[in-house]
Structure 1
Amino acid sequence: MTDLIDFESNLRQLKDFQQRVLLVPAQWRAFVPAEPLAWDRVRFTPENKAGVPAQRGIYAFVVQFQDDREAPLALPTHGYVMYAGITGEKAEDRTLFDRYGDYVRDQRRPKRMSIWSMLNKWKDDMFFHFAPVSPNFDLGAAETALNDAIIPPYVTNDFSAEVRQLVRVLRAN
C-alpha cells in the first residue's frame, strides 16, 4: 500500500510541472527577423533588473537548466521558451527594463494568473532573454513571427491568425 501512496504522490508532483510544448523545426527555420537580434539574458530575479537595458525590444522567458557548479556538469544546458513578448511598440518610452519590472511585480501579485503561475512554478530556473531593437524595427510583426516560430505554451493571442487557430485546436485536445 505504501508503494501505491508513494506512486500517487510522485505522480501529483510531476503533474504540477507537466507542460505541453510544440517543437516544430520548420517553424524555427522560417523565422527571419527584419534585423539581426542580439540576444542576451539574465536569471529572472528582482536583483537582476539592473542588467536589462532601458531600450525597446523583444523578450522571452525561458525555463532553463543552468548548472552553476564547477565542471563536470551534471546535465547539458537546455531550456524551453515559455513566453515571448515585446515592449516599446505602442508606448515608445516603455523599455525592456520597465517590462522586466512589470514581471517582477506580477510574480509577487497575480495580474494574469497563467503568467504568475509560470513565473513562480519555475522561479529558480527562469531566465529573461532579451534583444534590444532599433527605433525602426517593427516589433508587432517580429512578435507574431517569433511566436509563430516557437509557439510558446504561455502565449495565447500573439500569433498569426492561421497559427492562432491551429494552436487553439491543439490546446483544446
Structure 2
Amino acid sequence: MVGKHHDIVAQTKRYKGEQHSFFLDLASWKKFKTKYALSWTKIRFESAGHPSIPKERGIYAFSVELSPGKLPAHGYIMYVGITGQDSDANLYRRYAQYLVDQRDQNGRPAVTYMLSNWDGDLFFNYVSLPNKKVDLHKMEKALLNAVRPPVNKRDLDATISAPRAAIF
C-alpha cells in the first residue's frame, strides 16, 4: 500500500532540484559537550541491519555518506533523535519504525524524503545509553544545537529555531 507521501521525493525534486543547504559551524560543533562517553556505532540503514541494533534506550543520528567509494569517506548528519527517555521504546524498535516509514512512505514528510532520497547511502549511527540517569532530552538538544541537522524541525534552542524558521 502506498502512503500519503508516496510521491514526496519526486515532487520535492521537481520543486527544488538536487540543491541541499547544510549548516556548517565548526565553533558550534566544538562547543558540544557531554559528561558521558559516546561510543558511536554505524551501520548502513537497511533491513538486514535491524537484528544488530540493541534493545536499549539511546541516541541516534542518520547520516548520508558516500562510503565506501572513489572519494574520501565523508558525510553529513541529517537527523538526530532519542528513544527510551519517557517510554519503554528502544533503538531496536525505533529502527524498525523507520524501516516501516521507508516502506510505507507515510511518516513525517522531511523524514520520508530523507529515507527515500538517500536510500542506499543512509547510515544509522547510535549510542546505547541504558543508564536511566542519563537525560536523553538534554543530550539530544545539545547535539541538535551543535550540528543543526536539516531534517530536524523541533527541539532546537529558540535562538536557533526562530531565525532558521524565518529563512526562505
Q: How high is the TM-score relative to the length of structure 2?
A: 0.86
Partner-residue secondary structure (3-state), 2:94: helix
Letter in 2 for 1:101: A
Measure the CA separation in 2 of the matches of 1:112 and 1:25.
29
Partner-residue secondary structure (3-state), 2:127: strand
Q: How many residues of Structure 1 are paired with residues of Structure 2 in the alignment?
A: 153
| TM-superposed deviation, 1:34 | 3.0
In structure 1, the residue matched to 2:115 is 119
Structure-to-structure mapping, 1:134-153, within 5 angstroms: 134-153=131-150
Kindly provide the CA deviation profile for residues 20-70 of structure 1, in whole angstroms up to 9, marking residues without a partner as x: 100000110111123111100110001101111111000000001102xxx
Partner-residue secondary structure (3-state), 1:124: coil
Moved more, 30-39 or 158-167: 158-167
In structure 2, the residue matched to 1:70 is none
Measure the CA separation in 1 of the matches of 2:78 and 2:99.
16
Partner-residue secondary structure (3-state), 1:123: coil
Poorly superposed stretches of 4+, deviation over 3 Å: none
Kindly provide the CA deviation profile for residues 77-128 of structure 1, in whole angstroms up to 9, marking residues without a partner as x: 000100001000110x210111000100010122111111110100010000
In structure 2, the residue matched to 1:107 is 102
In structure 1, the residue matched to 2:81 is 85
| TM-superposed deviation, 1:161 | 1.9
Q: What is the RMSD computed on CA atoms of the aligned residues?
A: 1.4
Structure-to-structure mapping, 1:23-38, within 5 angstroms: 23-38=24-39
In structure 2, the residue matched to 1:48 is 49
Contact 1:49 1:101 in 2 (8 A): yes
Measure the CA separation in 2 of the matches of 1:77 and 1:120.
21
Letter in 1 for 2:23: L
Letter in 2 for 1:54: K
Give unpaired runs (5+ residues) of structure 2: 1-12
Measure the CA separation in 2 of the matches of 1:16 and 1:55.
38
In structure 2, the residue matched to 1:9 is none
Letter in 1 for 2:126: F
Give unpaired runs (5+ residues) of structure 1: 1-11, 68-72
Letter in 2 for 1:148: N
State, as a whole percentage, how many aligned pairs show the same letter.
Answer: 35
Partner-residue secondary structure (3-state), 2:120: helix
